[in-house]
C-alpha cells in the first residue's frame, strides 16, 4: 500500500514567498544590465572594500546604488532559500519536494558564485550565463509552487496516450524554442551581438507558433488543468511579443512614423528591463506547463523499458 504525504500548507506559502522575493534580484538585475552597471564595483563579495551590509548603500547613487542593491537582493533570496530548505527538510514533505528544494538551494548558491565571477573576471559572457541560469532557477521555483499546491495531486493520466504524448512533445519543442529566444535576447543585451539583433525579433514568430501548438494539444487532452496551463502560456507569449514591439520602439524608434527613441530615458530603461523579466516569467510558465503535460502521460508509457521489468517478468525470466 502506498502512502501519500501531505505537506503543511506553509511549505506552499514559503514557496510562493521565495518565488516572489526572487523577482526582486531578477528585476534589479535586469535594470543593471539595461543601464550597463554590472561593473560598478571591481571587487566581490565586497563593494569598494566594504562588507555587504557595511557599504553605505543609501548614500550611494547611480550605478553603484543599482549594483549594490542587486547584491543585497541576491543576499535576501539566499537567506529566504535557506529558510525554505530548513522548513522542507524539517517538516513532513514528499521526497520529490525535498529534492526540488535542494536543487533550488544549490542553484541559488551557484548563481551567486556566477555573479561574483562575472565581476572578478570582468567577463560579459559570464554575465550572459548569470542571466540565463536565473531563468532556470526561477523555473524550478515556479514548479515548486505548483507541486506544493492543491491541484498537483493526484496526477490523473490522460486516457488517450497519443494526445498526452502530443501535448508533452509540443511542450518540449516550445521549451527548446523559448530557450533559444531567451539566449538570443541575452546575447543582444549583454554582448550586443549583431546576428542576435537580426534574428531575435523574427524568431518570436516561431515562439508564438510553438505556444499555440502546445495550447491546442493540451486542449485536446480534455484535461482542464492542462488546457488552462496552455492558455496561460499563450497569454504570456502574446504579452511578451507586444512588449517586444514596445521595446523596439523605445530602443530604436520608428522614424517612418516620426517616433524617435530617447536613449537611456526612464521609459526606455523600464520597458527594456520589464521585457527581460517577462521573458523569464514566460519560460517559467511554459516549464511548469510541460511538467504537467509530462505527468499526464500514462505511467506505463513514460519509461517503457523500466515499466516492463515488473517482479513477475523478472521471476519468469529467471526460470
Residue reference for cell 546604488:
65
Q: Give the C-alpha separation, 146 to 16, whole Å.
A: 9
How far is the CA of 54 from the CAs of 29, 48, 77, in angstroms?
21, 11, 19
Three-class secondary structure of residue 47 per DSSP: strand
DSSP one-letter code for 191: I
Q: Give the C-alpha separation, 255 to 7, whole Å.
A: 57
Dihedral pair phi/psi, residue 50, rounded to 5°:
-90, 150
116 burial (CB, 10 Å; 0-12 / 13-18 / 19+) is middle
Q: Give the C-alpha separation, 117 to 131, whole Å.
A: 13
298 burial (CB, 10 Å; 0-12 / 13-18 / 19+) is middle
- In this prediction, residue 162 carries a pLDDT of 81
Q: Give the C-alpha separation, 309 to 300, whole Å.
A: 11
What length does the chain have?
A: 319
Residue reference for cell 501531505:
6
- In this prediction, residue 316 carries a pLDDT of 38
pLDDT (tens place) for every residue of the chain, 319 residues total? 344 455 678 899 999 999 999 999 999 999 999 999 999 999 999 999 999 999 999 999 999 999 999 999 999 999 999 999 999 998 877 888 999 999 999 999 999 999 999 999 999 999 999 999 999 999 999 999 999 988 786 555 566 678 888 999 999 999 999 999 999 999 999 998 888 888 999 999 999 999 999 999 999 988 888 999 999 999 999 999 999 999 988 888 777 676 777 777 889 999 999 999 999 999 999 999 999 998 887 654 554 433 443 333 333 333 3
Q: Give the C-alpha separation, 258 to 315, whole Å.
A: 78
- In this prediction, residue 239 carries a pLDDT of 97
Query: pTM above the 0.85 mark?
Result: yes
Task: Say if CB 140 and CB 104 are below 8 A apart.
Answer: yes
Alpha helices in 252-308 (DSSP H): 266-296, 299-302, 304-308
Three-class secondary structure of residue 254 per DSSP: strand
Domain boundaries, the chain: 9-153, 159-301
Residue reference for cell 561593473:
39
Amino acid at each position: 500500500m502506498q502512502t501519500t504525504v501531505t505537506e503543511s500548507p506553509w511549505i506552499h506559502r514559503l514557496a510562493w514567498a521565495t518565488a516572489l522575493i526572487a523577482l526582486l534580484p531578477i528585476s534589479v538585475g535586469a535594470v543593471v544590465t539595461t543601464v550597463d552597471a554590472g561593473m560598478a564595483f571591481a571587487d566581490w563579495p565586497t563593494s569598494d572594500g566594504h562588507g555587504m551590509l557595511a557599504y553605505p548603500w543609501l548614500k550611494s547613487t547611480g550605478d553603484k546604488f543599482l549594483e549594490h542593491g542587486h547584491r543585497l537582493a541576491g543576499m535576501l533570496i539566499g537567506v529566504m532559500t535557506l529558510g525554505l530548505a530548513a522548513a522542507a527538510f524539517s517538516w513532513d514533505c514528499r521526497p520529490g519536494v525535498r529534492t526540488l528544494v535542494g536543487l533550488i538551494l544549490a542553484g541559488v548558491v551557484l548563481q551567486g558564485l556566477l555573479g561574483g565571477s562575472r565581476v572578478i573576471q570582468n567577463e560579459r559572457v559570464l554575465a550572459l550565463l548569470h542571466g540565463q541560469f536565473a531563468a532556470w532557477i526561477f523555473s524550478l521555483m515556479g514548479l515548486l509552487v505548483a507541486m506544493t499546491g492543491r491541484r498537483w495531486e493526484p496526477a490523473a493520466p490522460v486516457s488517450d496516450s497519443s494526445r498526452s504524448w502530443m501535448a508533452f512533445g509540443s511542450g518540449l519543442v516550445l521549451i527548446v524554442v523559448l530557450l533559444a529566444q531567451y539566449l538570443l535576447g541575452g546575447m543582444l543585451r549583454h554582448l550586443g551581438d549583431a546576428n542576435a539583433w537580426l534574428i531575435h525579433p523574427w524568431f518570436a514568430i516561431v515562439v508564438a507558433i510553438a505556444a499555440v501548438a502546445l495550447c491546442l494539444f493540451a486542449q485536446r487532452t480534455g484535461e482542464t488543468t492542462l488546457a488552462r496551463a496552455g492558455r496561460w502560456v499563450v497569454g504570456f507569449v502574446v504579452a511578451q511579443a507586444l512588449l517586444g514591439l514596445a521595446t523596439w520602439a523605445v530602443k530604436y524608434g520608428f522614424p517612418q512614423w516620426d517616433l524617435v527613441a530617447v536613449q537611456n530615458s526612464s521609459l526606455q530603461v523600464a520597458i527594456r528591463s520589464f521585457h527581460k523579466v517577462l521573458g523569464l516569467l514566460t519560460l517559467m510558465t511554459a516549464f511548469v506547463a510541460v511538467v504537467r503535460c509530462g505527468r499526464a502521460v500514462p505511467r506505463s508509457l513514460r519509461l517503457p523499458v523500466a515499466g516492463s521489468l515488473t517482479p513477475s517478468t523478472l521471476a519468469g525470466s529467471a526460470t
